[in-house]
Structure 1
Amino acid sequence: MRRDLARVLLLWRSRWGWLIAGALVAMAAALAGVALLAFAGRGVSEGLRTGVLAGAAAGSLVLLRPLIFLRPGGKYVERLLTHAATFRALADTRIWFFRRLAERLPGGLGLKRAGDLLGRLVSDVEALDGLYLRALVPACAALAVVLATAAILGVMAPALAAIVALPLAVALLLPPLLAPGAAQAAERVAEAQSGLRAAAVDPLLGLEDTLAANAEPRARTRLSTAAEALVAAQQRLARRSAWGGAAGSVLAQVALLGALAYGLAGGPAAVGAAVVGLFLALAASESLAALPRAGIALAAAGAGARRLFEAADTAPPVAAPAVPAPAPAGHALKVQGLRFSWAPDREPVFEGLDLDLPEGGRIALLGASGAGKSTLAALLLKLAAPAEGRILLGGTDIAALPHDVVRERIACLTQDARLFDDSIAANLRLAAPDASDDALWRALDRAGVGEVVRALPDGLDTRCGENGARFSGGQGRRLALARALLSPARILILDEPAAGLDPSAERAFLETLDSATEGRSVILIAHRLLGVERPTRILRLIGGRAIHAMG
């Protein structure tokens, strides 16, 4: 847990200025509270010593007035700074985690439940706010208070300082003492939250199948079981928090009773110092009250950090080259002696595959399901790496090229091309962020969907809906095609781009593809040809090899 939390702090190093400033302001606000009660205690003790309480209090009031306003002001600034620091640090963490996932998702993360990835990206990252807001900041404030209390009382009465400060110092150890024991309970809470999300999300993602199978009662039962498991895990964690809170309260009370006992045992000469000790113990108890919860927050943050790093540290499917080769000038594509299997214990998909796509060439690659058509697309895009053989782009092995260089030259349009719930313009600019509106319209016209978009009241600002629900299947494919056409890639892989369309829409879409992709190298992956595709060569994938065919 300590290693994971230390790694989180390293991720936040660009925000250390904010984090340190927030902690310093929290310490200053806590010390203002100590000073406030120290002066109040001094006034009371002076009044008891002289017998003129009103006069002594009036003298201390002069010193109390600025502190009365300084402390709430400091608490306000502390909240602003610490929360601003936390929000920035968590935003950095989400961006870092997203980038790590983007490198690793093509190979699969092993997150088999639908809600797991969402939980790690949202809930586990949010749990990290406890590391700073509910652990480090309160710990810094409490440490400052205990040291100030020990210093003030040490000047007045060293024995009293030891009596009051010792239990307060023990209270400072509660977070690191509680965190290891609470870590396992926090892990169970995180896993139970993941299970609850999966129980809720899975039936909704397959809602049609759930309803068709009359599986709603089973889905409700699964959801109820997951919710009960989460409640039980949270209760175990809450009990540990309650025990920690009780321990903190007992230690604060020991400090108060110690100050009181010192005054009673020391006689009149010790009363003044004892009163100040009582006031300072009260001031410390407020800061120390948050420490037991800090231990639980550390445990929750540690559990969240472990789950994040478990996913983020998954090895990428294709390692980046140690010394990248320069980008090639051309984009001729050649596959030589390719051998590949998705797992060591599975049959090879390719055995000695050879393929040659000259610049401007158009290949139709046919084959039955499982023949390896989509696997080839994954290999060409460096989403997987061959066990043997080479893939040459412009004469350079793509294994020596960075991922982004390869994907700038090769783009892919699949049957599952997704339209996001954003505007048409935003969906298109995924391929070319700086594309002008004119460029978007040209791409839409080439894809045969420009007039459809022009007829919409909001034009390019029209939202596509979840997974393109605003449009028909054929219109959605054409929008995805327009996005692919905006890409600067000179090689287009069309992986079953018309699958699932009705025959007339399929034929019309393939006719559009033929004209829209003119001037680029094309690999059309399909089960069959309709006769409108006009490839320069037709290959069939049989037994892991590409065999020339006439149709």
Structure 2
Amino acid sequence: MSKHTSQHQPNHTAITHSVDNQAADSRDPAFRLRDMFKPSFDLWVISWLLGLIFAISIIALLMISGWFISAAALAGMLAVGSHAFNYMMPAGIIRMLAIARTASRYGELMVSHNAVFDLLKTLRLRFFERLSTLPLVQQRNALHASQYMHRLVNDIDRLDEFILRVVSPWLIGTIVVTLLALFIGFALPIDPTLKRMIYGLLALALLVPLLGTYLGIQQARQLAEVSEARRQKLLAPLAIITQLLLWQQWRAQTADYIEQDNLLQDLEWRAQKRRSAYMLGIQWLFYAGVLVVLFAITQLSQGAAFDSSIMHVVSVPLVLAVVLGLIGIQEIIVPLGQHYLALGNSIAAKQRLNALLTTHSTATERSPKTKDNIEKSELAAADLPLPTGEMTATLDRVYAKIPKALVGAQDVSVIITSGTPLIIRGASGCGKSTLLQMLAGELSLLKGEVTLNDAAWHDYDWRDQLGYLGQQLDIFDQSLAANLRLGKPNASDAELLAALDKVGLSKWLQAQPQGLATPLGEYGAAVSGGQARRIALARLLLKPRRVLLLDEPFAGLDAQTRAQVWHHVREQQKNDLLIVVSHHEWDMGHCQLLTLKEQVFTNDTL
């Protein structure tokens, strides 16, 4: 998620929410697979109808074509039949079926693609909105539990398999098999026992992939877990690949990845063998049906061997049509075995997403449920309005750290007042950035207390009144203006220019031919690191905020630009809270200084 809590939708910066709503979220699943039909149910119905027309068309086209060719050949062999056979009607039906096949296939693809895109858009908005309503602490924990944002996107994309590879093909396949069974029952004058045998083979052709789908649920979950573990085992050494290669430690550090990769390959090989077995089994069942049909016709023909009217007992073209139908229907049913993991993939993705969005708040787990804590929870549910006058923030023996980190900000006590900036300094790794992350709501407060005007810091309804500039910047592959307006969507061009002037980017902007329309590239690749940081800062300065948390805002700036930026930032926050992490030392005016030194701090006044 974004590290700039004030640069996105207002609900991204909300720190507290209703306890009752959170409890409801933890009890009820955030998403069910049947919910996928709701956004575009009408489109899916149209898609299924067109898919059914396509399936019937290709099978009927094959059957009628075989019947027509064989019937025409027989009519040509028999002098009488050649005068009675109607060539025009079957030819017209074949043309109509060919047109229906092409048109329905094109229409089905177009409608289903639109429905899928609409579904993915709805799912992404729903999940990201649901995630954004969580407190930032829970957002961070949820994203780590899900192992980064792209995992969330991948799970959402996998959900469309439920409709495209489970519901739609099973619905169409079941209907087509039923229609073919009815046709065989009415068209072929064969023994009822043999008919029931054919019906049984058709039912088994559906039962085989159904059983495979059921057994594949656990297999799909295992594949997903091993695949994710394999990816994580590779990402860690890739982050320091240069150092590992220099120290000849690449092979040793990737041993776990190789082990996971071998395990994944073994699982995928097993899945491929099962997939091939299911597909082969389905084909054998249909071919067995063909053999039963031929056997039944042979028995029927032998019974009428001495009957000169055998052609009235069994129609060779009709038998050929049935045989071709049993062969052609495999195109519809065999993919059910090929995609036997689709349901398991969808269920696994749904469970991971629900686990992500129903993350329980860790606040109640960190402290006992005393009367004071209950009262604080009730205050949190109220979302206190921010004070309109002067503000005083107090940190009392605060301890916060990033999960799994060895050190953090420990035993920090300081009082911050409106109009007097707090400058935080200290050696690398002493917890400066961690302290800002805790105040921004991205990290949990493990010990101590943070208050604002004698009320808990996180009980206030901050909305977009808390601006945070972290070390990781959010610069998107959009224009300069679009990136800036993330801080204030309705900002005019004049306001954008004024904000850029505050951070010393006016001359740079004048040199850009496209001006505010200048593209910044993905992650700000088109600008330098210092320029990207100042653009992110300008985004925060577009509107007044009661609290600004700035982590190294002067990185990469020369002395003159640094003084200019500091002047404008301090002027904007002269009546509000300003907390800055900076290792630069110069005459910053009257400020409060907090120095962190390996869990030892001093609190002085500049």
- TM-score, with structure 2 as normaliser: 0.74
For residue 206 of structure 2, the aligned residue among 156, 165, 172 is 172
Partner of 2:334: 289
- The yes-or-no answer on 1:364 pairing with 2:423 is yes
CA distance in structure 2 between the partners assigned to 1:175 and 1:315 by the alignment: 38
Name 2:604's counterpart in structure 1: 549
1: distance between equivalents of 2:447 and 2:590?
28
1:330 alignment counterpart: 388
AA aligned to 1:441 is: L
8 Å Cα contact 1:353/1:544 also seen in 2: no
Conservation of the 8 A alpha-carbon contact between 2:395 and 2:415: yes
Aligned to 2:49: 24
Distance in 2 (CA, whole Å) between partners of 1:507 and 1:37 is 81
Which residue of the other structure, out of 80, 84, 89, is the alignment partner of 2:119?
89
Indicate which of 430, 434, 438 corresponds to 2:494.
438
Separation of aligned partners in 2, 1:161 and 1:143: 18
Q: Which residue of 1 aligns with 2:81?
A: 52
Q: Is the 8 A contact 2:120 2:157 kept in 1?
A: yes
Partner of 2:485: 429
Contact 1:511 1:533 in 2 (8 A): no
Name the stretch that deviates more: 196-205 or 85-94: 196-205
CA contact 1:365–1:524 (8 Å) conserved in 2: yes
Alpha-carbon spacing, 1:385–1:187, altered in 2? closer, same or farther (3 Å):
closer
Q: Which amino acid aligns with 1:460?
A: L
Query: Following the alignment from structure 1 to structure 2, what is the Cα–Cα distance between the partners of residues 213 and 540?
Result: 36
Q: Deviations over 1:261-318 (max 9, x none)?
A: 2222334566247555434423433321222113133334444444444444444667
* Matching of residue 242 in structure 1 with residue 242 in structure 2: no
Question: How far apart are 1:143 and its partner, in Å?
Answer: 1.0
Query: Cα offset for 1:512?
Result: 2.0
Corresponding residue SS for 1:133:
helix
Alpha-carbon offset, residue 443 of structure 1 = 0.6
Note the C-alpha offset of 1:189. Answer: 4.1
For the structure 1 residues 52 and 392, does the alpha-carbon distance in structure 2 shift closer, same or farther, using more than 3 Å as the test?
A: farther
Structure 1 residues 161 and 326 mapped into 2: Cα distance closer, same or farther (>3 Å)? farther
Cα separation, 1, equivalents of 2:239 and 2:597? 35
* Aligned position for 1:519: 572
Looking at structure 2, the residues matched to 170 and 535 of structure 1 have their Cα atoms a distance apart, in angstroms, of 84
Displacement after TM superposition at 1:548 (Å): 4.8
Q: Is the 8 A contact 1:447 1:512 kept in 2?
A: yes
* Alpha-carbon distance between aligned partners in 2 of 1:346 and 1:172, rounded to the nearest angstrom: 56
Correspondence for 1:534: 589
Q: How far has the Cα of 1:483 moved from its partner?
A: 1.9
SS at match of 1:173: helix
Q: Tell me, what secondary structure is at the counterpart of 2:388? A: coil
Shift of 1:199: 6.1
| CA–CA separation in structure 2 for the residues paired with 1:346 and 1:33 | 65
Q: Secondary structure at the match of 2:589?
A: coil
- Is 1:78 aligned to residue 133 of structure 2? no
Matches of 2:30 and 2:504, distance apart in 1 = 53
Q: Is the 8 A contact 2:396 2:449 kept in 1?
A: yes
Match of 1:253 in 2: 287
CA distance in 2, matches of 1:346, 1:229: 32
* Compared CA separation, residues 305 and 325, structure 1 to 2 (3 A): closer
Check 1:173–1:85 CA distance in 2 against 1; reply closer, same or farther (3 A cut). Answer: farther
Q: 2:505 aligns with which of 442, 449, 455?
A: 449
Counterpart CA distance in 2 for 1:214 and 1:467 is: 31
Measured at CA, do residues 101 and 386 of structure 1 come closer, stay the same or move farther in structure 2, by a change above 3 Å?
same
- State the Cα deviation string for residues 231-250 of structure 1 (Å, max 9, x = none): 44332221111001011101
Which residue of 355, 359, 383 maps to 2:442? 383
**Shift in alpha-carbon separation, 1:364–1:309, aligned structure 2, 3 A:** same
TM-superposed CA distance for 1:445, in Å, is 0.3
- Gap change, CA 1:353 and 1:175, over 3 Å in 2: farther
Distance 1:350 1:85 in 2: 52
Q: Do the aligned partners of 2:407 and 2:429 also contact (CA within 8 Å) in 1?
A: no
Choose between structure 1 and 2 for higher RCO, CA contacts under 8 A separated by at least 6 residues.
2
Residue correspondence of structure 1 range 122-271 to structure 2 within 5 A: 123-156=154-187, 159=192, 161-191=195-225, 193-194=227-228, 197-198=231-232, 201-202=235-236, 204-210=238-244, 212-213=246-247, 230-267=264-301, 268=310, 271=314
Query: Could you tell me whether the CA contact under 8 Å between 2:29 and 2:358 is conserved in 1?
Result: no
Q: Is the 8 A contact 2:552 2:581 kept in 1?
A: yes
Q: Helix, strand or coil for the counterpart of 1:444?
A: helix
When residues 189 and 543 of structure 1 are mapped into structure 2, their CA distance, relative to the original with a 3 A threshold, is closer
Tell whether 2:548 aligns with 1:492.
yes
Q: C-alpha deviations, 1:409-462, integer Å up to 9, x for none? A: 110123443444543333322322332322221111011122122213333333
Deviation at 1:531, TM superposition (A): 3.8
The amino acid of 1:297's aligned partner reads: A
Deviation at 1:195, TM superposition (A): 5.2
Gap change, CA 1:420 and 1:439, over 3 Å in 2: same
Which whole-Å deviations, capped at 9, do the CAs of 1:141-188 have from their partners, x for residues lacking one? 111112212333344469365333322222222333112433454345
The corresponding residue for 2:35 is: 10
Give the letter for the 1:537 counterpart. Q
Whole-angstrom distance in 2 between the partners of 1:87 and 1:369: 46
How many residues are aligned here? 539
1:513 is aligned with what amino acid? W
Paired letter, 1:457:
P
**Higher deviation after alignment, 217-226 or 383-392:** 217-226
Q: Which residue of 1 aligns with 2:5?
A: none
Alpha-carbon distance in structure 2 between the residues aligned to 1:124 and 1:393: 40
User: CA shift at 1:387, angstroms?
Assistant: 5.9
Q: Percent identity?
A: 25
| TM-score, normalised by the number of residues in structure 1 | 0.80
List per-residue Cα deviations over 1:448-494 (Å, max 9, x = no partner): 12212221333333344554454444433322321221244232112
SS in structure 2 opposite 1:383?
coil
Compared with structure 1, are the counterparts of its residues 279 and 188 closer, same or farther at alpha carbon in structure 2 (3 Å cutoff)? same
Contact 2:423/2:592 (<8 A) preserved: yes
Q: Decide whether the 8 Å contact of 1:408 with 1:488 is kept in 2.
A: no
Q: 1:509 matched to which residue of 2?
A: 562
- Structure 1 residues 227 and 298 mapped into 2: Cα distance closer, same or farther (>3 Å)? same
**Matched AA of 2:508:** V
Does residue 355 of structure 1 match 2:386?
A: no
